Amino acid sequence: MPSFASAGIDIAYEIYGEGRPILLIHGFASSGIVNWVNTGWVEALQKAGWAPITIDNRGHGGSRKLYDPKLYFAHEMADDAARLLDRLGHETLPVMGYSMGARISAFLALRHSIRVKSAVWGGMGINLISGLEDSEEIIAALTAETLDEVKGATGRQFRIFADHTKADRAALAACMVSSREPMPASEVKKIAQPTFVAVGESDDMAGDPHALADLLPNGEAFVIPKRNHMLATGDPKFKTAALAWLATHG
């Protein structure tokens, strides 16, 4: 994968095909390949005429692994994304993020508003404002010696996922400390770009998508039927709804 230095940190990215560019920002413990290629998003977007650009957030995938929690604030990862757009020469384009990637996308839209034409936020509802209550459980799960030591359902879910993707669990634990920084409601209200907020019907981690969309000047909520946080990522109904929305707002 190609990479570039963002504030001295090597960040990996990939560009798929030719067409209209769209930036994809993955979720916690994932990567561009896991979140967007393996779930069929890249293929679906290419068929719709898009040229997806994936970024591996710091500490994830092919990007540099860091172990200082102070280096993982979502607003700093949003700056990484803005620097990637600088490198590729894209002034403005649609941005899609899932879970932590949606939080990063929100900070990108807030801090670098000219770069974000429109946004799709998957797996992120009103908890963009309230943060994540299970952070300590997830950190403990990631740093446990074995999976058998992890008892909480949320912790086990993330530990199993991290092991499956062969992620650097120490880097992820550091990331979890600060990457869930909340965005005040007063700041959310400043995000004027058209934004599609999609959350699984059984997703307890994301929070209510309607409550978040109502705060946005141009927000639209969508509930992904019968899906939780993990299973909603590549859901066909999510793809269909998001692609239709992008056809109008992208």
Distance between CA atoms of 144 and 179, rounded to whole angstroms?
Answer: 20
Could you give phi then psi for residue 97, rounded to 5 degrees? -135, 150
Q: Which two tokens stand for residue 141?
A: 């799960």
* Angular region, 19: left φ>0, alpha ψ -120 to 50, beta rest: left
* Angular region, 120: left φ>0, alpha ψ -120 to 50, beta rest: beta
Distance between CA atoms of 68 and 22, rounded to whole angstroms?
Answer: 30
Give just the sign of the alpha carbon dihedral 53, 113, 205, 212.
Answer: negative
Distances (CA, A) of 130 to 12, 182, 206: 30, 6, 10
- Residue ranges and CATH numbers for the domains of the chain are 3-130+183-249 (3.40.50.1820)
Task: Give the Cβ contact number of residue 234 at 10 Å.
Answer: 18
**What is the structure's pLDDT at 135?**
84
Task: Give the Cβ contact number of residue 249 at 10 Å.
Answer: 17
Q: Which two tokens stand for residue 37?
A: 């290629």
Distance between CA atoms of 119 and 105, rounded to whole angstroms?
Answer: 8
pLDDT tens over the chain, length 250 residues: 999 999 999 999 999 999 999 999 999 999 999 999 999 999 999 999 999 999 999 999 999 999 999 999 999 999 999 999 999 999 999 999 999 999 999 999 999 999 999 999 999 999 999 876 678 999 999 999 999 999 998 899 999 999 998 999 999 999 999 998 899 999 999 999 999 999 999 998 999 999 999 999 999 999 999 999 999 999 999 999 999 999 999 9
* Residues near 8 by beta carbon (within 8 Å), at least 6 away in sequence: none
